[in-house]
Amino acid sequence: MKAKNFSFYFGIGLLSFIVLVAAFAPWLTHYDPIGQDLLHTLASPNSHHWLGTDNLGRDVLTRIIYGARIDLSIGVLAVLFPFILGTTLGLISGWRGGWFDAILMRIVDTTIAFPFYVLAIALVFVVGAGPKSIIIAISLVGWVAYCRIIRAAVLVAKELDYVHAAKLSGLPTGRILRRHILPNVISQAIVFSMSDIVLSILAIVSLGYLGLGVPIPTAEWGSMIQEGQAYILQQWWIPTIPGIMVVIVGFSLSLIGDGLVKRLNK
Amino acid sequence: MSDIVLSAHELSKHFVGRQSLLAKVRGQDPFTVPAVDGVDLDIKAGETIGLVGESGCGKSTLGRTLVGLYPQTSGELSIFDRQIGKERSLEERRAVQMIFQDPFASLNPRMTVGNMLKEILLFHKLATKEDVEDKSKELLTLVGLPTSALKSHPRQFSGGQRQRIGIARALALQPKILIADEAVSALDVSVQASIVNLLLDLKRDLGLTMLFISHNIAVVRQISDRIAVMYLGRIVETGPTEEVFANPQHPYTKLLLNSVPKMTPGSKLGEAPSGELPKMQAKFVGCRFRGRCPVAVDACATTDPKLLPVKGSNNPDHMTACLLVQ
């Protein structure tokens, strides 16, 4: 069994490595992620700067590590809120049906039809650029997917006999939803949330690239790609390495997601 | 008549179809299926009633209406002479419990057997935190399962064992009446026998009152004191099991019993009811069975037969809804 789920453990290992490195960043590197060193700009990788330095002489490796902190934590938060909101609304919508369901589903349709980046740009103007508006923007759109997944699963589960049995024992609706329905419908949402983290990190990076994300000079993968692209022909590693980091994080989360499908459906 | 546990009078459950806005504006009647349409049924304490009928006759709907999974459309339902309204009190819910058909869908896959029993026992204050485990073990022993089953999840059990767990769950609430909806149909024949025996034992030891819904006439004959034959949402004949088997009165009952294969070598199957079960329709005029009835007369087209005692029978409990034998 364990051998079969090798990719799951590989994904967990890879992601934990990145998370640990990001968590212990101050002990792993003595450079300041925003400290400039104008005497050593655009250095090639060497024994002092393993991944070289950028146009302001900042250590690229250090910025990658500190960038992981920002990107991962915003990525997780921007999935956590929609996960909770969408799951709750989906549970109620699927269980109650009727006018509540009809209205909520129209809101869902509208949200899906709305272009995400237009919403994000509008929010940046209202709230100001930064992690807060990114999380709000992704949450405003992201809950829809969880709502739909959970609602569909509840529609199936509520007609199963064990739910009928719980009703017959007179248990209150809240308890039936929490103890008998939620544990049986949540797995699909958890699996989806893994790929959703990848999507939201991509969104953060894209917003950062557009200059709408975390304000400079804070180290963040998206803005590193944007700032580095001017040097892509000579110092290609400056914009490329952050991009590769996004790919690695996405890859490990996908592996975890696939592994979870196997585990939860056992 | 205080020994009557559950009594239904003119009980109906109609399913109403969705209607388009246009149809509503035009004032058209919505599409209605009267799955249960005017059922009279009294269940006495300690007796087991077998409810038989072909698929689609409304047996399961009747069972689900009795336990309260479906609200009744009209008619009266009372438990121990107390009228049951649309909303049931906790005590009224507890009084009527159900054993489900599919043992694989009737247990929450993410809950251990112990937690499942604990939840309802504590909720109904039938046990305290201290003795809930002992009470749960007692229940498992009662249905013939090892007490170690408490810590297991439903997936670790076979179909027959799961059905026993379902029975334990129903018994946990100390119901006045148990409704078994096709409780053995999903099981292998050998397992069916063991579940039937368990129900017979429980009936003997606990004085269980039960409505046993099944299309399997042989099983019903073995388990029930009385049987009720259902056709298109109505009960057409009811009486003591052996009396009905020996002396069926309603033409539908005769055809139904005839279509059961016999164990005598060389015996031929009797004539099966010809034709299909007619579509449920909102309003029936006359006898519902007349289209397939071999002995229908003109009066059957206009008069709706009531469930009345069989004329000339010395058993007042034997009743039928047929103009020709009343």
CB of B289 closer than 8 Å to CB of B310: no
Minimal CA separation from B179 to chain A, in Å: 12
For residue A200, is it within any domain? yes
Nearest to A68 by CA among A236, A204, A227: A204
Mean pLDDT of chain A: 84
Q: What is chain B's length?
A: 326
CB contact under 8 A, A169 and B124: yes
CB A180 within 8 A of CB A166: yes
Q: Give the C-alpha separation, B68 to B241, whole Å.
A: 27
pLDDT greater than 70 at residue A4? no
pLDDT digits (tens, 9 = 90+) for B53-69: 888 888 889 999 999 88
CA distance B120 to B153: 17
| pLDDT, tens digit (0-9, with 9 covering 90-100), for A92-141 | 999 998 899 999 999 999 988 888 888 888 887 888 777 888 888 888 88
Q: Which residues of A touch B120 (CB under 8 A)?
A: 169, 171
The shortest C-alpha distance from B19 to chain A (Å) reads 14
Closest Cα of chain B to A170: distance in Å? 6
Q: Which of A168, A180, A184 sits opposite B69 (nearest CB)?
A: A168
**Model pLDDT, residue B267:** 66
Closest to B106 (Cβ–Cβ): which among A162, A169, A179?
A162
pLDDT tens digits for range A221-237? 878 888 878 887 887 88
State the total domains in chain A: 1
- Taking contacts as CB-CB distances below 8 angstroms, the residues of chain A near B96 are 168
Residue A84 in any domain: the answer is yes
| pLDDT at position B51 | 93
- CA A33 to each of CA A46, A73, A129: distance values in angstroms, whole numbers, following the listed order: 17, 17, 20
pLDDT of residue A52: 74
- In Å, what is the CA distance from A26 to each residue of A31, A62, A181? 8, 9, 44
CA–centroid distance for A228 within its chain: 24
Selection from A191, A253, A262, A242 nearest residue A58 by Cα: A242
Look up the domain containing A235 and give its range. Answer: 8-264
Q: Which residues of A touch B102 (CB under 8 A)?
A: 161
A169 contacts in chain B (CB < 8 Å): 93-94, 97, 119-120, 123-124, 169, 173
Q: What are the chain A neighbours of B97 within 8 Å (beta carbons)?
A: 168-169
The nearest CA of chain B is from the CA of A146 a distance in Å of: 21
Residue A22 inside a domain? The answer is: yes
For position B118, what pLDDT does the model report? 93
Quote the CA–CA distance of B243 and B25 in Å, as a whole number. 53
- Cα-flanking dihedrals φ and ψ of residue B103, to 5°? -70, -10
- In this predicted structure, the answer to whether residue A148 has a pLDDT above a threshold of 80 is yes
Which carries the bigger pLDDT value, residue A29 or residue B245? B245
Of B93, B110, B123, the CB nearest to A168: B93
- The whole-angstrom distance between B120's CA and the closest CA on chain A is 7
pLDDT of res. B273: 60
Q: What's the pLDDT at B276?
A: 65
Q: Inter-chain contact B90–A168, Cβ cutoff 8 Å? A: no
Q: How confident is the model at residue A1 (pLDDT cuts 50, 70, 90)?
A: very low
CB neighbours (10 Å) of residue B305? 22
A185 to chain B: nearest residue by CA?
B110
Record: contact A167-B69, CB cut-off 8 A: yes
Q: How far apart are the first and last CA of chain A?
A: 11
Question: Is the CB of B68 less than 8 angstroms away from the CB of A165?
Answer: no
Residue of A nearest to B109 (CA): A184
Provide the pairing of β-strand B74-79 with B4-16: antiparallel
Measure B49 CA to nearest chain A CA, in Å.
21
pLDDT at B189: 86
Residues of chain B scoring pLDDT < 70: 1-2, 267-282, 326
* pLDDT on residue A31: 73
Provide, as residue numbers in chain B, all residues whose Cβ is less than 8 Å from the Cβ of A166.
108
Q: What is the ipTM of this complex?
A: 0.85
**Strands of B159-205, DSSP E:** 177-181
Query: For position A108, which CATH number holds?
Result: 1.10.3720.10
Comparing CA positions, the residue from B260, B247, B199 lying closest to residue B224 is B199
Across the interface, whether the CB atoms of B173 and A164 are under 8 A apart is answered: no
For residue A180, the chain B residues in CB contact (below 8 A) are 108, 111
Best interface-test mutation with B: which of A101, A160, A161 has the largest number of B CBs within 10 A? A161
Q: What is the largest CA-CA distance in chain A?
A: 77
How far is it, in rounded angstroms, from Cα A68 to Cα A248?
Answer: 12
Residue A3 in any domain: the answer is no
Q: Name the residue facing B100 among A165, A179, A180 (closest C-beta).
A: A165
**In this predicted structure, what is the pLDDT of residue B1?**
44
Q: Which residues of A touch B (CB under 8 A)?
A: 160-162, 164-171, 179-180, 183-184
Q: Has residue A2 been placed in a domain? A: no
A159 → chain B, closest CA residue:
B105
Cross-chain residue pair B110–A167, CB shorter than 8 Å: no
Token pair for residue A134? 């990114």
Q: What is the pLDDT of residue A130?
A: 78
Best residue in A159, A164, A169, A190 to probe B by mutation, most B CBs within 10 Å?
A169
Interface of B with A (CB under 8 A): 67-69, 88, 90, 93-94, 96-98, 100-102, 105-111, 119-120, 123-124, 166, 169, 173
Residue A171 and residue B109: Cβ atoms within 8 Å? no
| Whole-prediction pTM | 0.82
Give the pLDDT score at B2: 53
Chain B closest-CA separation from residue A163 CA (Å): 8
Verify whether the Cβ–Cβ distance A169 to B101 is below 8 Å: no
Give the whole-angstrom CA distance, residue B84 versus residue A170.
15
Residue A121 lies in a domain: yes
Query: Phi/psi at B84 (nearest 5 deg)?
Result: -100, 125
Minimum distance, in Å, between the CA of residue A103 and any CA atom of chain B: 17
- For residue A106, the model assigns a pLDDT of 93
Does some domain include residue A1?
no
**Contact between A170 and B124 using a beta-carbon 8 Å cutoff:** yes
* Environment class of A209 (CB within 10 Å of its CB; exposed 0-12, middle 13-18, buried 19+): buried
**How many Cβ pairs within 8 Å bridge chains A and B?**
59
